[in-house]
Amino acid sequence: MLGLASISLVVAASVIIGVWGVRAARSTPDFLVASRSIVPGWNALAIAGEYVSAASVLGLAGLLVKNGVGAMWYAVGFTAGYVLVAALVAGPMRRSGAYTVPDFAEYRLGSPRIRRMCGLVVLVIMLLYLLPQFKAAGVVLELVSGIPYWIGVVGAGLVVSSTIAVGGMRSATYVQAFHYLVKLAFVAGPAVFLIFLAGPERREAALDPVAADPDWAKPLLDLDGSGHSLLATISVLVATTLGAMGLPHVVMRFHTVAGARSARRVAVNVIVLLSLFYLFPIVYGLLGRVVTPHAEETDVVPVLVPTAIAPGTLGAVLTALVAAGAFAAFLSTSSGLLLALAGGLSHDLFGGSLSKLRLGVAVGTALAVALSLPAAGVDINVLVGWAFAVAASTFCPLLTLGIWWRGLTATGATVGLLVGAGSSTGAAMASAVLDLEPGVLSILLAQPALWTVPLAFLTMAGASRPGSVPDWASEAVLRLHVPGRYSTGDTGAIPRARGTNRLDTAESAD
């Protein structure tokens, strides 16, 4: 009951901050990117808040207990992705003045068809990413309150979609910044407590996994005992590092900062926030191996650890805090994802008004809820890994080549996207449906990024015929890299007051 109460508190606080942040979402740009009036510090917090999802709060610790310390390579990849975001994407994307990845594709390649294709890819990635979030909400609610899984999932869907439909991105930014702090406090606080409460014996056991189980302590990620752990680790690293770069909801965030320079700096700040956060799944994972070695659903290990270490009231209070932190992770990530999904549905696929955008949120939630009911048995990190693999095989090459190489054509991008999306989703689906012997093939299907990413890059570049590069392509690319008045919104100034429209002042200042 305590757990349910703390979760309700987080939800209530989110709704209040959301309503406070609304200040009337008037037009599509308001709704989608908060009319660019979000201050950089908030933005980094919001990106981290949205990015530290159920996969990080629950999934990492769970996978650590289940598969061994190598699970932390996921965290390394999640963070390393932001080095590439800072280096390859953030600045130029901001200068392009496009809202979403499909917008960018249309800007760069001048083809409305490619925009719709990108819209479809956004849908696939966002849905794959939403599933594990709803799964997390369902299992946590089930654990702390006994509510059946499906009711928890449906309820979570209602809460998220209603907060977003009212406020849009502006409210989402503040809500997500708040959620990063909630997550850090509610995951880190209990972790520190638990280290003390565990006592010297269990601490010693947790810190010496090598003695107990050398296989578990091997710093490589072995997927279901395939025996090719180095291959699996590298493929996961490729997927997470390159996937972070192509995640539509992350890329979209950079449009809410003042200019290209702050966009890059925001990416660096995100690395700091993520590094700080990823210290704590380690605590739950190491302690969890000692105190909850036989958990059936490893994805809830962080919620199980407190009561296993400290039975009684203290344990119950700590459990409630962790559960609230996990729920905050679910809320923030899924609201960011739903916004991008709604953007994809209405803005890119149907060309849209605000009401269509709101409808998009509702439709997206319904889809994700429906799909997450049968996904209850799949590990959170496996699902998230697929979303990253698809992003790495589609938008990563599209953005990299589109930003840095003027030879990319609409045809090349179309073929490349088809091949990348087809091969990565196909491999993931095959690995979910087929029951393969653990081995090289099963790894290459379950973690396809290692071969699908190069494949997508090669087809995208190979199918771009040099002769068919239009005259304006050169200008479209140059504009992304030149500071000053020839690029959009690159004023460099930090917005001072909320409520004034920065685009307008920037325009008249020139």
Partner 1 sequence: MRAANAVNQRVRVTSPQTRLAQRRGADAMGRLSHLSGRPPLSTLSAIDLDAAERAMRRQRRLAVRTAVSLAVALAALLIAAVLTPGRLGWAVLFFAPYPVLLVLALVHVRRAERIEDRHTEDRP
Cα–Cα dist 194/315, whole Å? 9
Q: Does 226 bind partner 1 (CB under 8 A)?
A: no
Q: At a CB cut-off of 8 Å and minimum separation 6, what does 412 contact?
A: 401, 459, 460, 461, 462, 463, 464, 465
Shortest CB 289 distance to partner 1, Å: 12
- Cβ proximity to partner 1: between 12 and 207 the closer is 207
DSSP letter for 343, please.
I
Burial 390-404 (b: 16+ CB within 10 A, else e): bbbbbbbbbbbbbbe
CB of 283 vs partner 1, minimal distance in Å:
10
Q: Distance between CA atoms of 282 and 276, rounded to whole angstroms? A: 12
With CB under 8 A as the contact rule, the residue among 42, 99, 284, 330 that binds partner 1 is: 99
**Quick one: three-class SS letters along 250-286?**
HHHHHHHCCCHHHHHHHHHHHHHHHHHHCHHHHHHHH
Q: Which of 1, 12, 158, 207 binds partner 1 (CB under 8 A)?
A: 207
Q: Which is nearer to partner 1, 138 or 402 (CB)?
A: 402
Between 131 and 477, whose beta carbon lies closer to partner 1? Answer: 477
Beta carbon nearer to partner 1, 48 or 274: 274
CB atoms near residue 500 (< 10 Å)? 11
- For partner 1, the closer of residues 28 and 447 by Cβ is 28
Return the residue of 347, 358, 365, 419 that touches partner 1, per CB under 8 A. Answer: 347
**For residue 448, what is the enclosing H or E element?**
none
Quick check: 248 and 388 in contact, CB under 8 A? no
> Are the beta carbons of 239 and 245 closer than 8 angstroms?
no
Binders of partner 1 in range 31-90 (CB under 8 A): 35, 69-70, 72-73, 76, 79-80, 82-84, 86-88
Position 359, amino acid: L
SS3 320: helix
Which window, 25-33, 136-144, 184-192, 423-431, contacts partner 1 (CB under 8 A)?
A: 25-33
C-beta closer to partner 1: residue 50 or 103:
103
Per CB under 8 A, contacts with partner 1 among 128-167 are none
Residue 430, classified by CB atoms within 10 Å of its CB into exposed (0-12), middle (13-18) or buried (19+), is: middle
Q: Is residue 494 within the footprint of partner 1 (CB under 8 A)?
A: no
219 or 426: CB nearest partner 1: 219
Could you give the angle at the alpha carbon of 55 between the alpha carbons of 385 and 182, nearest 5°?
150
CA triple 238-401-94, angle to 5 deg: 95
Tokens of 52: 């530290």
In this structure, how many other beta carbons lie within 10 angstroms of the beta carbon of residue 483? 13
Angstrom distance (rounded) from CA 454 to CA 452: 6
**Under rule CB under 8 A, residue 354 binds partner 1:** no
Angstrom distance (rounded) from CA 182 to CA 49: 9
Q: Which residue number, 28 or 332, has a Cβ lying nearer to partner 1?
A: 28
How many residues of this chain bind partner 1 (CB under 8 A)?
78
Contact status, residue 486 vs residue 260, Cβ threshold 8 Å: no
Per CB under 8 A, which of residues 470..489 are in contact with partner 1? 470, 472, 475-479, 481-488
189 forms part of the interface with partner 1 (CB under 8 A)? no
Residues 106-135 that bind partner 1 (CB under 8 A): 106-107, 110, 112
What minimum distance in Å lies between the beta carbon of 442 and partner 1? 21
Contact with partner 1 (CB under 8 A): which of 41, 199, 227, 351? Answer: 351
Stretch in the footprint of partner 1 (CB under 8 A) among 37-45, 127-135, 176-184, 497-505: 497-505
* CB count in 10 Å sphere of residue 46: 28
Q: Among residue numbers 361 through 390, which ones bind partner 1 (CB under 8 A)?
A: none
Q: For the CB of residue 7, give the shortest distance to partner 1 in the complex, in Å.
A: 29
Using the contact rule CB under 8 A, the part of the chain among 27-35, 145-153, 332-340, 378-386 near partner 1 is 27-35
Site string for partner 1, 402-441 (x = CB under 8 A): --x-------------------------------------
Question: 317: which 2 tokens?
Answer: 């209070």
Candidate segments 11-19, 161-169, 201-209, 359-367, binder of partner 1 by CB under 8 A: 201-209
Contacts of partner 1 in 230-289 (CB under 8 A)? 230, 233-234, 237, 241, 261, 264-265, 267-268, 271-272, 274-275, 278-279, 282
Note whether 317 and 6 are within 8 A (CB).
no
Give the residue with the Cβ less far from partner 1, 439 or 504: 504
Residues 6+ apart with CB under 8 A from 85: 244, 245, 250, 267, 270
Residue nearer to partner 1 on the CB measure, 96 or 431: 96
Q: Which one, 278 or 327, has the nearer CB to partner 1?
A: 278
215 in contact with partner 1 (CB under 8 A):
no
In angstroms, give the least distance from the CB of 122 to partner 1: 16
Per DSSP, the three-state class of 159 is helix
State which residue, 131 or 401, has the beta carbon closest to partner 1. 401
Six-digit token string for 175: 């809500």
User: Can you say whether the dihedral through the CA atoms of 153, 158, 163, 164 is positive or negative?
Assistant: positive
Residue 227 touching partner 1 (CB under 8 A): no
